[in-house]
Amino acid sequence: MTQPSPNLLFTVLRKQPELIAPAKPTPREVKELSDIDDQEGLRFQIPFIQFYGSKASMKGKDPVEVIREALAQTLVFYYPFAGRLREGHGRKLVVDCTGEGVLFIEADADVRLQQFGDVLHPPFPCFQELLHEVPGSQGITNCPLLLIQVTRLKCGGFIFAIRLNHSMSDGSGIGKFVNALAEMANGANEPSIKPVWCRELLNARDPPRISRTHPEYEDVMVENKANGSTTPSLNDMVQRCFFFGRTEVAAIRRLVPKHLGRCTTFEFVIACMWRSRVRALQLDPDDDVRFMYAVNINAKVNPRLPVGYYGNEFVFSGAVTTARKLSENPFGYALELVKNAKTNVDEEFVRSLTDLMVIKGRPLFATTRSYVVSNTNGARLDEVDLGWGKPIYGGPAQGGTAIFSETTSLYFSYKNNKGEYVIVVPISLPAKAMERFEKELDGMLRNHSQPPQISSSL
């Protein structure tokens, strides 16, 4: 398999950004976000990217024009995206449905799709050129809620990149929007799944009451010890992607204790990553360490969220232990903590956490010595056909969330050139810790024929 040269450089010529408004008049109203949507930890922008090859049957058709027109049509149904967020009393976020539109950039790049290699994954070369940060557009309130750039390539392919205000939607929600856009691009008059707002389904109770413990939102003080802070320096961070194919997954599966019963691939891969990460950081043995991940709550709440719901439909759940316990106990200890983080989430957990947001002022989740993971496979961006077939790659544009890159990982999969699905988990660590992490991970997998593939660092 070939990968892009870390020195791959190319020029992108962009036209001036424009606002794409809904193709027809839309309601002028104010819509509240849910109390899950507007928490501090979701007030940032998250980018996704899709790479498309050329297609003979689409010769003569311009992807920029096709997508621009389809976008205007899609916004008729998803019209809140054409509005702007405002913050009200108690930091409550609402959408002012102004119909102003979303930002759209037309661009051309002097590069061919083949030059990116056949193993596409973040970080992408010259990504800032493929999704230009329009000055003044990065804010959470009073700014466009979507930024889209379509970049034509020399080979006839193109790149579709989209930046989402996370307060509005999660990966699943933006997946529904992009799929609706694809349907419009292929000639549909309306989305097959109609968007549904219903954000009140995830609002706090009246009166709100915290009925469960939520250590995910109880940060710890960083103690300065004789040898310095227990939190590692973030000045020399590097990011690398780790790949888990059938061989690597089978090797980790052999480490799963029988008493834990059935475990998902996500659970044991992430438990492996968390344990190796904590060991690599060489924290004080008595330091508390956290694992958190975004648990989908659609099956946890009653009534269930409508099929067309495109708000954030997850809560953070996790576990707290000490660096000593996680490092010195067998792998099954970490795995059990990860499994429990999911099983702890039920209807009451969701309602309690929603109430906590209101009672405690929509706080940020705990970031000190935390490892936060989001499974983005639910977005299914690798299946979106805009008329040119399915993308060569469709998924996250970054390995973690930009503002919490040192604590977060995105978990996703892609189909390699053999037609096999491979799990990708990017992680950011200080350079020395990354070296130790690779050795820890290799040590856990040393019984198979080769260590997990690793991408080059940033």
Closest to 153 (Cα-Cα) out of 115, 108, 194, 193: 108
- Give the pLDDT of residue 398: 79
Closest to 181 (Cα-Cα) out of 294, 50, 53, 302: 50
Strand partners, 95: 31, 85
- Interstrand relation of 102-109 and 30-32 (parallel, antiparallel or unpaired): unpaired
- Give the pLDDT of residue 234: 55
Name the catalytic one among 284, 288, 385, 442: 385
**What does the DSSP assignment read for 315-366?**
EEEEEEEEHHHHHHS-HHHHHHHHHHHHHT-SHHHHHHHHHHHHHTTSPPPP
- Give the pLDDT of residue 53: 95
C-alpha–C-alpha distance, residues 241 and 453, integer Å: 8
Q: Kind and range of the H or E element at 181?
A: helix 171-185
Label residue 117 left, alpha or beta by phi (over 0 means left) and psi (-120 to 50 means alpha).
left
- Give the pLDDT of residue 82: 98
Token pair listed for 433: 């810790």
- Give the pLDDT of residue 405: 59
What b/e sequence results for 49-86 when a residue is b if at least 16 CB atoms lie within 10 Å of its CB, and e otherwise?
A: bbbbbbeeebeeeebbebbbebbbbbbbbbbbbbbbbe
List the pLDDT tens digit at each of the 458 positions of the chain. Answer: 344 445 788 999 999 999 999 999 999 999 999 999 999 999 999 999 999 999 999 999 999 999 999 999 999 999 999 999 999 998 999 999 999 999 999 999 999 999 998 778 887 889 999 999 999 999 999 999 999 999 999 999 999 999 999 999 999 999 999 999 999 999 999 999 999 999 999 999 999 999 999 999 986 544 434 333 445 555 678 888 899 999 999 999 999 999 998 999 999 999 999 999 999 999 999 999 999 999 999 989 998 999 999 999 999 999 999 999 999 999 999 999 999 998 999 999 999 999 999 999 999 998 889 999 988 888 889 999 999 999 999 999 876 555 555 688 889 887 776 778 889 999 999 999 999 999 999 988 875 444 444 443 33
Is cis: bond before 123, omega within 30 of 0?
yes
Q: How many other β-carbons are positioned within 10 Å of the β-carbon of residue 190?
A: 13
State yes or no: is 385 an active-site residue. yes
437 three-class SS: helix
Strand partners, 243: 424
Name the catalytic one among 37, 38, 121, 166: 166
State yes or no: is 284 an active-site residue. no
